[in-house]
Chain A
Amino acid sequence: MLNQLTITNRWYWGATMVSLLAALAMTVWFAPLESSMGPIQKIFYLHLPAAINTFIAAFVVFAAGIRYLWTRDSRWDLLAESAARVVVLYCAVVLVTGMIWAHVAWGRWWTWSPRLTFSLIMLLLYVVYLAMRPAIESARRREVVSAVYGLLAFLDVPLVYLSVKLLPDIHPSSVELEPAMQATLAVWFVPISLLCVGLIAARYQLGAHGQSHAHLDHEHAPAAGFVGAGGGGRT
C-alpha cells in the first residue's frame, strides 16, 4: 500500500490539500465562536486530530517494531522510523497548539498540567528514538535496538498517562461542542489523517530509495575499500 501511495501521487495530495482548505474555510466561516474562550478555541480543531494521529503513528512504530523483530526485514524498521518522525512532528504540533491555548487561557506558556506534561514526555520518548539511531554503527543492531525501544516507548505511554494524573490538573477534562463545531472538528480529521499517512509513506519511500541506491553502490564498488560509502551504513 505504501508503495502505491507514491510521493508524487497527485490525487492523494490533491485530496489532502482540498480537505485542508475545506477545514480551514469551515473554521473561519462556519464554526461559531465559543462564548467563553473566543477565537483561540478554534485551535482545538487542529489540536485534537493531531493528538489522535500522534497515537496512531506511535502505534505504527510499535507494530512495525514487533513485525521487524519477527521477520528481521529492514523495511519494517524503515516504516517504524518513518512513523516515529511523524510522531515527533505531530506531538510538537499538539504541544505548540496546547501552549498557545494555555497562554491565552491561563496567562502563561507552560504549566505542569498532566496533559501538557504527557505531551512533552511523549515527544521526548520519540525524539530519543530518532536521536539514538545514528549513534549505533551496525545497521542490524540499530534496527533491533530501535524496535525494542519503540516497543517500550509505546508500552510506556499508558504509564506516563497514569503518572501525570498525580499532578494537579487545570486542563478542561471535557469540551462541549455545538453541532457546527462538531462538524468542523470531524472535517479536520480528514486532512490531518491524510497528511499523517502521506508523510509516513513519503518518508518510507525516500528511505527505501536510499536503501536501493546503497545496495547498488555496494554491488558496483571495488572489492577493497569504499564499500557502503553512499549507504549511510544501512545495507
Chain B
Amino acid sequence: MNALRDIALLVAKDLRVEARGRYTLPLLCVLGILFVTVLGLGLASRGDGVGPNAGAVLWVAYLFGGALCFEKTMAVDHRDDALAALLMTPIDRGVLFVSKWIANVLLLSVVAAVVTAASLLFLGLKVNASPSVFIRVTVLGLAGFAAVGTLFSGVVATTRMHGGLLAAVVFPLCLPLVLASARLLNDPQSIGVFGLGESVLVAFDLVFLAVGWLTFDLLLEA
C-alpha cells in the first residue's frame, strides 16, 4: 500500500510540475500536428487518405514525440538537482521508475489523442471499424514504448548527445512493438480474439516493465 501511495504522490508531483510549467505537453502537441501535416503532404496529398499507412504515420509521430517527452520530463528532474534530492528520499527506485512511467504514459496519451484527431481530420484515418481495438493497441504500444524510454531517459540526460542518443537507444529496442502495433492499426480485423500481434505487445510491456523495475536504480546511480 505504501508503494501505491508513493507512486500516486510521485505521479501527482510530475503532473503538477507539468501543469505549472507547461514544459512538455504544448510542445509535443504542436510537434504531433506538425508531423501529421508533413506526412500528410507527402502521403495523402492526392486526397485518398493514408490508407494502409495509417499505423506507420501514427507511430512516426509517437516515436519522435515520445523521445522528446522522455527527455524533457527527466530534464525537469535533473534541473536544480531535483533528481538527486529525490534519490535521497527512502523511496524504492522501482517505485520511482513506475511513477515516471505512468506520468510519461499519461502525457503520451494526450499527445496520441491530439495526433489521432489531427489524422482523422487531415489524413482520413478510419478508426470507426473497431475503435476498441484501436484504443487497446495504442495503449499497449504506448505503455511499452514509455517503459523503454523512461528506463534510458535518466542516463541519456547526463551524456553529450542528449535527445539524439535517447532516440538511437530506444527506437531499435521498440521495433518489435512498432511492427506489431502498426500492423494491427493498419488491419484491425487481423487481431482475432488474442492474436500474435497483441501477444507481442503484452509480452513486450511485461518484459520491459519488469527489467525497468529491476534496473532503474542501477542506471540512475551509476
Contact = CB atoms under 8 A, between A and B. Distances in A.
B208 interface: yes
Interface stretch (A4-12, A14-22, A89-97, A148-156): A148-156
A145 B200 contact: no
B165 A162 contact: no
Contacts of B200: 159, 162-163, 166
Contact of B219 (A124, A144, A155): A144
Contact of B155 (A141, A152, A163): A141
A164 B197 CA distance: 10
Contact of A159 (B155, B168, B204, B211): B204
Interface stretch (B20-28, B120-128, B170-178): B170-178
Chain A interface residue bracket vs B: 20 to 34
Interface string A158-184: 011011111100000000000000000
A135 interface: yes
A121 B211 contact: no
Interface stretch (A36-44, A125-133, A211-219): A125-133
A145 B155 contact: yes
A132 B168 contact: yes
Contacts of A149: 152, 169
Nearest to B148: A152
Interface residues of B, number: 32
Interface string A26-70: 000000000000000000000000000000000000000000010
Nearest to A122: B172
Given A159-B200, A162-B196, A163-B200, A128 B175 contact: no
A145 B221 CA distance: 11
A163 B152 CA distance: 23
A137 B222 CA distance: 12
Nearest to A145: B155
Contact of A151 (B161, B168, B204, B211): B211
B89 to A, nearest CB: 22
Interface string B146-189: 00100110010011110001001100110111011001000000
Contact of A156 (B173, B197, B215): B173
A135 B165 contact: yes
B207 interface: yes
Q: Which residue among A125, A155, A163, A167 has the maximum number of chain B CB atoms within 10 Å of its CB?
A: A163
B76 to A, nearest CB: 21
Nearest to A166: B183
A124 B197 CA distance: 22
A136 interface: yes
B2 to A, nearest CB: 27
B218 interface: yes
Contacts of A155: 207, 211
A224 to B, nearest CB: 25
A126 to B, nearest CB: 9
Given A69-B218, A125-B172, A159-B176, A165 B196 contact: yes
17 contacts: A124-B175, A131-B168, A141-B222, A148-B211, A149-B152, A151-B211, A151-B215, A152-B173, A159-B177, A160-B176, A162-B196, A163-B179, A163-B197, A164-B176, A166-B180, A166-B183, A167-B179
Given A121-B172, A151-B211, 19 more contacts: A121-B176, A124-B172, A125-B172, A128-B168, A132-B165, A132-B168, A138-B222, A141-B222, A144-B219, A145-B155, A148-B151, A152-B148, A155-B211, A163-B180, A164-B176, A166-B183, A166-B200, A167-B179, A167-B183
Interface of B: 148, 151-152, 155, 158-161, 165, 168-169, 172-173, 175-177, 179-180, 183, 196-197, 199-200, 203-204, 207-208, 211, 215, 218-219, 222
